[in-house]
Structure 1
């Protein structure tokens, strides 16, 4: 067993019960070393600390060179910060869609041979084998259900291999398990990017990417019509077997809506008690959806058509014009139904998906949306060359 290139100050347990939630990340520090004759002299200590809940303060002895990654958004954060070579795993071997990255001029990333962490659960021994300097895995998330590992397992891995650094419940501001609930804190996508940039000591890249995002949003906001003239948009997943729609909040909190919330459209389900956050079983049948009748329907998660189940749902969604009731929906009649982006998004994915959402919701302002998977049709509302330069280190 090895002690990784990073060590947690106080341990996982302490990090989830301690004070200081939300403290700004600390930079490099220096200490005094004792010389052989008992005198002290200033010596540069290369360690540094980064604070993010639920871990608390995490101390790194050096910049991590090997990162065990589960969720695709963390992989996207690392690629955006030029740390793609550090990625040692994914949750699933094909779990990170690279189409957005490869649409950036002169940027590529190869994740084809990365091992997947999930195989009917998590295997503790695989973490030892991967030997990561840091784990971008949120223990609170994986103790909220039967993942195969419990809190004690994560504490053991933290002690013997390396620290954990991730915050999964910021996706939709869901409720963490009780053991880490009191100190859990929610962060925006771009706050998470700042924290990851601190870990890898590349803060200038995070700042530069945030500037690109802010410039894009400023240009979008300058074109938006008054609120009462904006379309009513429904964010849904279609369930073809039940012929029903599971609704989501278009403008809900969390990085999972970071591609739709900034567009400031009117949410068809803003006052609904059936949305996924309020009622997991809630759904609208075809007649119920006809009563809501949004101007635009966005099919959640499936821009890249990742799984067979989602492909089947998507095909059925785009065939609503053949349904005797579905064809009466205004969005269907006006050809305003779209596949939209992934909720598990990092900064590169978000830049492309904000543009995608803008084109889907306001095509008269920002141009027609491309067909699902046609990434080459995106990259005009933000400075894609600037993003490529940042990824490649030209800040």
Structure 2
């Protein structure tokens, strides 16, 4: 995006190429760097003409070429950029980049030549508009409706930044098919994780990567579906996050709608807290009464919510020590909650092994370090194949 041309005639800026077709955050917007340097790194075909991608609530955004710098909020969109071979375009992240860097690299360690470098990205939760002006991104790869959940942001702010900096493009409330604020109700649609990824891949001109990764995902799901035991032989499960300093925990849906459960829903286990609203709190007594066969600990690879802390607390507490999952050492970690396609592949595999070790191979007891090394014959997807797709060998 830099302009080293010393001619006195001023070249058009990126914003000179942004055209608005009447919609607040969509309707025929043009986005992306307008440099005519050829894209020869295998990330997609160079677009001689503009192209478009469509995703509610932003609508249709038109691009002249893939954006070279994108702002993200949550890591599912950043994961999609990495999967599309454009991880270097993620230049800012508003939600806890250091935490997300740790969780994602724990899994990506198993993909040769693939990693993320998010820890030091600029960004802060609920930023003022000036930060987005300073970042001057080519695209805000974020859900504009979700942004207005932040105290400092209104739809008018979204419109201002979309007009003066770059368009918005993303979907977050499909995480659990959450209701948008009333002003967004007419613009919102819900998608699966892989439907969102398809449109993000379109933004980065990476349709071949999307199709190849979708095939890997589909093959794994087909293998799992074929081998799942009858419903009455499936385990009962609680998916939780312990609350520090209290004898209570947050509970999360196992089979509910949205991409947050895209790795557990296909496995069809019995959710012991299915009747409890997701993200609600329950106490230890409720866990004892539910008596799950397996406990899944969200973000259990992170320091603050590490799975070993949950194991120790439940084993050492006279109330919870008799829970079946505790007695049988079936307390397992999960990975990233706001998963993109890459985290989704790892989490489907890990959860299949955690719930059905006799069918899909045992999940090693996780204590620290990267995603455990799984014997080649017990892997549910080919690591090298996924890495090759990301790196352009489709």
| Class of the TM-score when normalised by the shorter of the 2 chains | 0.7 to 0.9
Match of residue 53, structure 2, among 50, 55, 61:
50
Looking at structure 2, the residues matched to 250 and 77 of structure 1 have their Cα atoms a distance apart, in angstroms, of 23
In the alignment, which residue of structure 1 is the partner of 2:112? 105
TM-aligned CA deviation for residue 317 of structure 1: 4.4
* Structure 1 runs of 4+ with >6 Å offset: none
TM-aligned CA deviation for residue 349 of structure 1: 0.7
Looking at structure 1, the residues matched to 246 and 111 of structure 2 have their Cα atoms a distance apart, in angstroms, of 40
Looking at structure 2, the residues matched to 319 and 244 of structure 1 have their Cα atoms a distance apart, in angstroms, of 11
In the alignment, which residue of structure 1 is the partner of 2:78? 75
Q: Alignment RMSD, CA only? A: 2.3
Is the aligned partner of 1:169 residue 2:173?
yes
Check conservation: 1:171, 1:254, Cα contact below 8 A. Answer: yes
TM-aligned CA deviation for residue 303 of structure 1: 3.0
1:329-367 per-position Cα deviation (integer Å, ceiling 9, x unaligned): 011111111122222111111101111111111112222
Check conservation: 1:6, 1:133, Cα contact below 8 A. Answer: no
Check conservation: 2:236, 2:294, Cα contact below 8 A. Answer: yes
Judged with a 3 Å threshold, the aligned counterparts in structure 2 of structure 1 residues 60 and 100 are, in CA distance, closer, same or farther, namely same
Q: How many residues align?
A: 355
Alignment of structure 1 residues 225-374 onto 2, 5 Å: 225-270=229-274, 272=275, 274-276=276-278, 282-300=280-298, 302-305=299-302, 308=304, 310-311=305-306, 315-370=309-364, 371-372=366-367, 373-374=369-370
TM-aligned CA deviation for residue 182 of structure 1: 2.0
TM-aligned CA deviation for residue 108 of structure 1: 3.2
Return the TM-score normalized by structure 1. Answer: 0.84
In the alignment, which residue of structure 1 is the partner of 2:22? 10
Judged with a 3 Å threshold, the aligned counterparts in structure 2 of structure 1 residues 165 and 364 are, in CA distance, closer, same or farther, namely same
Check conservation: 1:9, 1:58, Cα contact below 8 A. Answer: no
Judged with a 3 Å threshold, the aligned counterparts in structure 2 of structure 1 residues 13 and 164 are, in CA distance, closer, same or farther, namely closer
SS where residue 93 of structure 2 aligns?
Answer: coil
Alignment of structure 1 residues 144-163 onto 2, 5 Å: 144-146=149-151, 148-163=152-167
Gaps of 5+ in 1: 19-43
Gaps of 5+ in 2: 1-12, 29-46
SS where residue 345 of structure 2 aligns?
Answer: helix
Match of residue 118, structure 1, among 118, 124, 135:
124
1:105-140 per-position Cα deviation (integer Å, ceiling 9, x unaligned): 23233334421x215x21211212221111112121
In the alignment, which residue of structure 2 is the partner of 1:38? none
Looking at structure 1, the residues matched to 134 and 388 of structure 2 have their Cα atoms a distance apart, in angstroms, of 34
Judged with a 3 Å threshold, the aligned counterparts in structure 2 of structure 1 residues 382 and 14 are, in CA distance, closer, same or farther, namely closer
Return the TM-score normalized by structure 2. Answer: 0.84
SS where residue 297 of structure 1 aligns?
Answer: strand
Looking at structure 1, the residues matched to 26 and 140 of structure 2 have their Cα atoms a distance apart, in angstroms, of 17
SS where residue 359 of structure 2 aligns?
Answer: helix
Judged with a 3 Å threshold, the aligned counterparts in structure 2 of structure 1 residues 229 and 93 are, in CA distance, closer, same or farther, namely closer
Looking at structure 1, the residues matched to 16 and 288 of structure 2 have their Cα atoms a distance apart, in angstroms, of 56
Judged with a 3 Å threshold, the aligned counterparts in structure 2 of structure 1 residues 8 and 390 are, in CA distance, closer, same or farther, namely farther
